[in-house]
Amino acid sequence: MNKPMMTPRRTLAVLLTALAPFVARAERLLNEPFDYPDGAITAVAPGLWVNHSGTAEQSSIDSGAAFITGTEAEDVNRTFSATGINTGTLYASCDLVLTALPSSAGGYFFHFKDTGTGAASTFLGRVFARTTGAAEGKYRLGISFVSTSAANIIPIEKDLDLNASYKIVLKLDFASTNATLWINPATETATSDRAVSIDTAGFGVGISQIAFRQAAGIGDIRIDNLLVGTRFADVAEGGNAALNPPILSTIGTQKTPAGTATPALSFTVADGETPVAALTVTGASGNETLVPSANITFGGSGADRTVTVRPAAGQQGIARITLTIRDGDGNTANRGFDLIVGEPSLSGLVDVVTVPGTPTNIVFNVSDTESDALTVTATAANTEVVTALAVIGSGSSRTLQITPAETATGFSRIQVVVTDGFNSITNGFNVTVAKSLGVILDEPFNYPDEQLLNLTGLWIPHSGTNDGPVIVRGGKAQLVTTNREDINITYNSPTVRTTDGVILYARLDLNFTSVPSSANGSYFAHFLGSAGGSFRGRLFAGRRTAPDGQFQFGLANNSATASVWHPATVSPGQPIIVLIRYNVSTGISTLWVNPANEGSPSVTGTDNPFPSDMVSFALRQDTGFGSLEVDLIKIGTAYSDVLTPTVILDYSLSSSLAADGSARFTFPASALANGFVVQASDSPTTGWSTGPAPTTEGDTAILSVPATAAARFYRLNRP
């Protein structure tokens, strides 16, 4: 299953946090290393992980870890007890990495579950991720025995970092009706980085499943090495060391042409008792025809090992390669990866924007190393917006003809599948059939000096401490780094829905009075959604890589830290026009600095897009971005609504030489209508004057120079 966003791959530094030994006791009820191919977790682990609510096949496996996100809505579980447990204690642990921040309120993403479905389910030991109370760019975890009320979430007062790995341990105590959550506990008696939630009502329900939940606000989360047991030692460090299994690091999905061996693939091994040099690793193939197990060979030494896999000659397909590690005590552990042999390639798909009733084409490339015949198909997720798709062409270049509805606007995901008869590859892109609303906000800040913007009746405070309200001076809003008030102004239109197909263009006229105080700065403007905390298209200012005394602008689709920076450097006292484009349907934002037109240099946010309905535009005061004046904010649904594009005319002469020695110059006849003339000179650098008049034939202007004419230089120029 292709994900609409890229998640960071685990590095060795992250993996090593999981290399501590675990006890293999009879009381351990579940050991889940997520050793499956990439894809929907319910599809790659059928009968093990099942959907209990939400949209099917959204929760996924990505490079040997479970991946869940707030942009999707599937909840899945795995059973660890056939009868259910309602006495004593239950424990669960996992390695946790957040790659995108949760919202302020956040949400729960991990819990124990009974055998019920839908509204009949009971969820206990709910683990929450949120940014409430955390420093900028950080998050915190919390626990509730059963409640989802914010007042009943017991937080762990520890700021956690994105892309860092943490071992979390969850405990249910049925006798005391409480749930405990630890972060990186050394022992069960550890009281630091711990929170306990008590529910006095008590529950006698039998718990039989461990579950993941996807819902708005949880961020992006990777979970690995999930364990469930009835003792702390079953899921965390401790116990009989001789029973600890060895550890093998993850190898991702590999691809190779038919008959071609993979490169030496690196992995690491570890064990708490056996020296790494004494650990043995063997390999087995799940498809002996494609990859004989004898073709799996190993190299390296100590903790650093390699594996090379050679497919059989003339074979194509997919083989599951399983590596087994054995320690000196006879304990084993497995890791697997898919080897795809002879997969075709697909490239060149880009997001498309069009308008109702206007077909558009996209040209993309396909290829196959083995020269197999390729079949290409395309489907639209929303056939009310995209009414027809047709793939035409042959060879490596194909064209997808996209026909939008005559009147409907909105958004559709397009999936393109290329198959060679052995393997297939799927990729996708977005089509937005854009809806025009014209100018929906024009704010010139023409208020009296010292006017508080929050008293205009248009600007509404939504956060901050009001210790320094935004004021107007000289017809410009003053954003001051030492103040703390965030305000927003509603568009002159209804709420812009994600289903509308609207693309927002926000123009800001800025003048900074001081340089940002930090390299990464902070954000000072953004679109604001209907759910108060939905900040999108965040605009940052920071020193970044600019020379001393200058700074740059950054952008994020959703994140509280910039995911991309515009290369242009600017200075305080310099009038600047910044343009942010935000596609409400896809959640993707783009930034220009002093653009001439929409084709000017721009950058697009690379953090996870999270579409949300939009209702207003916001200004923010905080430390980090310096102080500035905002002279104008103008928002529309087309570039031309907010800026007049500069038309750049680019014509060139084409030349040819006839057999009689005469020269023939041609160029588009439209150049003449746009004021261009043919000029001639004896020098390529000076002395240019109007040359002979060309003739026209249809859309082409022609200048013929006889062979007897003196040698001269010719050019096309607009004086």
* Residue-range domain boundaries for the chain: 12-240, 247-341, 351-429, 441-642, 654-717
Residue 96's pLDDT is 94
Helices (H), 70-165: none
Residue 241's pLDDT is 54
Nearest to 645 by CA among 463, 502, 505: 505
Q: What is the mean pLDDT of residues 187-215?
A: 82
Q: What is the mean pLDDT of residues 582-594?
A: 96
Confidence band for 551, pLDDT divided at 50, 70 and 90: very high
CA–CA separation, 492 and 650 (whole Å)? 38
Helices (H) and strands (E) in the chain, counts: 5, 56
CA–CA separation, 488 and 376 (whole Å)? 47
Query: Is pLDDT at 199 greater than 80 in this prediction?
Result: no
Give the Cβ contact number of residue 516 at 10 Å.
Answer: 28
Q: What is the mean pLDDT of residues 26-52?
A: 87
Task: Decide the pairing of beta strands 459-464 and 576-583.
Answer: unpaired
| Residues in CB range of 22: below 8 A, 6 or more apart | 227, 235, 236, 237, 244, 245
Query: Is pLDDT at 617 greater than 70 in this prediction?
Result: yes
- Residue found under tokens 């890229």: 6
Query: Is pLDDT at 2 greater than 80 in this prediction?
Result: no
Residue 14's pLDDT is 31
Confidence band for 38, pLDDT divided at 50, 70 and 90: confident
Task: Decide the pairing of beta strands 459-464 and 476-479.
Answer: unpaired
Comparing 171-185, 236-250, 568-582, which segment has the lowest mean pLDDT?
Answer: 236-250
Query: Is pLDDT at 9 greater than 60 in this prediction?
Result: no
Residue 120's pLDDT is 52
In what helix (H) or strand (E) does residue 640 lie, and over which residues does it extend?
A: helix 639-642
CA–CA separation, 301 and 282 (whole Å)? 14
- Give me the percent of the chain exceeding a pLDDT of 90: 58
Q: What is the mean pLDDT of residues 232-247?
A: 70
Confidence band for 17, pLDDT divided at 50, 70 and 90: very low
Residue 648's pLDDT is 66
pLDDT digits (tens, 9 = 90+) for 271-296: 878 899 999 999 999 999 999 999 99
Residue 647's pLDDT is 66
Confidence band for 398, pLDDT divided at 50, 70 and 90: very high
What's the token pair of residue 402? 């996209």
- Asked if 498 and 614 touch (Cβ cutoff 8 Å), the reply is no
Residue 15's pLDDT is 32
Comparing 157-161, 389-393, 503-507, which segment has the lowest mean pLDDT?
Answer: 157-161
Task: Decide the pairing of beta strands 304-309 and 628-636.
Answer: unpaired
Comparing 143-147, 159-163, 529-533, 654-658, which segment has the lowest mean pLDDT?
Answer: 529-533
Query: Is pLDDT at 20 greater than 80 in this prediction?
Result: no
For domain 247-341, give the CATH number: 2.60.40.10
pLDDT digits (tens, 9 = 90+) for 676-706: 889 989 888 888 888 888 998 888 999 989 9
pLDDT digits (tens, 9 = 90+) for 456-501: 889 988 877 666 789 999 999 999 887 778 899 999 988 999 999 9
Residue 333's pLDDT is 81
Specify the CATH architecture of the domain 441-642.
Answer: Sandwich (2.60)
Residue 480's pLDDT is 87
The yes/no answer on whether domain 12-240 falls in CATH 2.60.120.560 is yes
Q: What is the mean pLDDT of residues 195-217?
A: 82
For domain 351-429, give the CATH number: 2.60.40
Query: Is pLDDT at 309 greater than 80 in this prediction?
Result: yes
In what helix (H) or strand (E) does residue 240 lie, and over which residues does it extend?
A: none
Residue 628's pLDDT is 93
- Give me the percent of the chain exceeding a pLDDT of 70: 92
Query: Is pLDDT at 511 greater than 90 in this prediction?
Result: yes
The average confidence (pLDDT) of the chain is: 88
- Residue found under tokens 């029973």: 243
Give the Cβ contact number of residue 599 at 10 Å.
Answer: 12
Q: What is the mean pLDDT of residues 438-444?
A: 96
| Residues in CB range of 444: below 8 A, 6 or more apart | 475, 631, 632
Residue 657's pLDDT is 84
Per-residue DSSP letter, 670: H
Strands of the sheet with 397-404, listed across from one edge: 345-347, 360-367, 397-404, 386-392
pLDDT digits (tens, 9 = 90+) for 92-113: 999 999 999 999 889 999 999 9
12-240 and 351-429 agree in CATH topology: no
Q: What is the mean pLDDT of residues 114-143?
A: 84
* Helix, strand and coil in the chain, % to nearest 5: 5, 45, 50
Confidence band for 305, pLDDT divided at 50, 70 and 90: very high
pLDDT digits (tens, 9 = 90+) for 320-376: 999 999 998 888 888 889 999 999 999 999 999 999 999 999 999 999 999 999 999
Residue 240's pLDDT is 52
